[in-house]
Amino acid sequence: MQSIQAIISQSPPVDKVGVEERVARFQSRSIKNESKLQGLKMVLNMIDLTTLEGKDTPGKVKQMCYKAHHPHDLLPGLPNVAAVCVYPTMVELAKKELAGTSVKIASVSTAFPSGQAPMSVKLDDTRFAVDSGADEIDMVISRGKFLSGEYAYVFDEIAAIKEACGKARLKVILETGELSTLDNVRKASDIAIYAGADFIKTSTGKIQPAATMQVTYTMLMAIRDYFDKTGTMVGMKPAGGISTSKLALHNLVMVKEILGDAWLTNEWFRFGASSLANDVLMQLVKLSDGKYQSPDYFSID
């Protein structure tokens, strides 16, 4: 295993101007209707429907779980979303509601969203979620430690949570809106990947800016470089701020060109954006019958 010093030293500086130019090209692509239909269904199948509020109730979680495997009752044949993401205390309920479906149960942990808790609490948080039936864990890194240059602490924390996950897959949330620079985003991505992340994820959705295409591009490049070096795939999850189908499709174009077709599946790419699901469904209805439905026809999750 590489030392943290070696990981940081090989993390390349990010050319911010170059990144912005590449992203602008991705955003200028036009997508024909046939490809758009295929892309929208792919996006829907990559969404993690999420409810992470202090006011979450069993009823709200049940409604979200129903929507997860019945995206639109008037458009049969649509794919499920990839997962539902809830607090650890709601995992058991979500697991029961989605039994027999292909929808995964994800849970946040490690004192989400702040991450400001002792390591023992973070480990207990993770184990409780896994023991309750979570298939995936979305953890937050200690941004204060990272910004203080305590990179070994961040690495060791991720590695410990990865071990606590057992068979559950680990998504590591960098909270890029608090990292300030693309150089920091790249360093945090490399630390998370080498510490054992199955996915790296931009944001909690609580801090802006979140999943900008510039940030996602930087994280995708970290994944590509790691794959080129090791042959090991790592997933990507932009979360927060992706609310339109157009932006989601631009992200898919970027993933395809940087990582290739192997990542164009919900096993390796996710969107953390519940509001995106409704826009995708509205676009699919439009492609089906030529008319937009009012947003009032869709549940708010």
CA Rg value for the chain: 19
Check 138, 190, 279, 301 and give the catalytic one: 138
Check 171, 237, 279, 301 and give the catalytic one: 237
Question: In angstroms, rounded to a whole number, what is the distance separating the alpha carbons of residues 174 and 164?
Answer: 19
225 is catalytic: no
Q: How many helices (H) and strands (E) does the chain have?
A: 12, 7
Strand ranges, E, within 25-168: 48-50, 83-86, 104-108, 136-140
138 is catalytic: yes
As given in the structure block, the two tokens for residue 220 are 């995708």
Question: In angstroms, rounded to a whole number, what is the distance separating the alpha carbons of residues 222 and 193?
Answer: 8
Cis peptide before 295, with omega less than 30 degrees from 0?
Answer: no
199-201 β-sheet, strand order = 48-50, 83-86, 104-108, 136-140, 169-173, 199-201, 235-237
Strand ranges, E, within 17-82: 48-50
Check 95, 162, 187, 201 and give the catalytic one: 201
95 is catalytic: no
Where in the sequence numbering do the catalytic residues fall? 138, 201, 237
